[in-house]
Amino acid sequence: MIYLDLLAGFLEVGCFSFGGAYAAIPLIRDVVLSHGWVTEEMLTDMIAVSESTPGPIMVNLATYVGTSQAGIPGAVIATLASILPAFLIILLIMIVMKKFMDNRYVRAAMRGLQACVAGVITAVGCYMLYQNAFRPLAAEAADFRPLALAGVLALIYFGSRKVMKKGLSPIALIGISACMGVVLFGI
């Protein structure tokens, strides 16, 4: 029965997708390819679409595979199955967290984890900027537009904090970047 397969398959994905979207891709691949739900090529396309559209790759893939295999009910089942483990784990942690966080050994470990997360996120930001703004410069026909766009966006975003009290919201920045992207690259 396809619904049960979808449920079991995406519960598995949801349970073991540790460590960010990219680390989870190999696992997602195994599950969806072994069931024959998508072809290798569709999966590559889908990852490209997921990177561009909002939402975690895992959830997007679940919705996509669910729809293609069993319509809307399939999409709902697969999507809910993919998020259920994360939901339950956080609930569990929240319930025991108060005690957990008061433990001095947990706090000692937590200090290291906080430092690590700050480092990881900064690195991901640097790498994304390098990929999307600096790398086009090294292409055969060097493309200066992305870097110029990055400069203008940075100026708008950080500059707005000096002028306005709270500065421009991230959502507004994404909106502006999409419009500028259409003008720069899409026409």
Partner 1 sequence: MLLDLFLTFFRIGAFTFGGGYAMISVIEDICVARKEWITHEDLVNVTVIAESTPGPVAINCATFVGYRQKGLAGAAAATLGVVLPSFLIIWLISMFLDRFLEIAWVAGAFRGIRVAVGLLILDVGIRMIKKMPKEPLRIVLTACTLAAMLLISIFAWNVSTVVLLLAAGAVSLAVYLVRERTAGKDGGRE
User: Using CB under 8 A, which residues numbered 108 to 167 contact partner 1?
Assistant: 108-129, 131-133, 146, 149-150, 153-154, 157-158, 166
- Identify the sign of the CA torsion 139, 40, 25, 65: positive
CA distance 87 to 116: 23
Q: Kindly state the smallest distance separating residue 9's Cβ from partner 1, in Å.
A: 15
Q: How many CA atoms lie within 13 A of 63 on its CB side?
A: 13
27-46 positions binding partner 1, by CB under 8 A: 45
Token digits for 53?
A: 């559209």
Give me the least distance between CB of 113 and partner 1, in Å please: 5
CB of 5 to partner 1, least distance (A): 18
Whole-angstrom distance, CA of residue 74 vs CA of residue 7:
9
In angstroms, the CA 20 to CA 186 distance is 30
Binding to partner 1 by residue 178, rule CB under 8 A? yes
Segment near partner 1 (CB under 8 A), from 1-9, 14-22, 28-36?
14-22
Q: Kindly state whether residue 52 participates in binding partner 1, applying the rule CB under 8 A.
A: yes
Amino acid at 11: L
* Ramachandran class of 96: left when φ > 0, alpha when ψ lies in -120 to 50, beta otherwise: alpha
Min dist CB 166 to partner 1, Å, is 6
State which of residues 1, 4, 72, 138 lies at the interface with partner 1 (CB under 8 A).
72
Closest CB to partner 1 among 91 and 142? 91
Among 57, 70, 77, 81, binds partner 1 (CB under 8 A): 57
Q: Which residues contact 23 (CB under 8 A, 6 or more apart)?
A: 17
Kindly state whether residue 19 participates in binding partner 1, applying the rule CB under 8 A.
yes
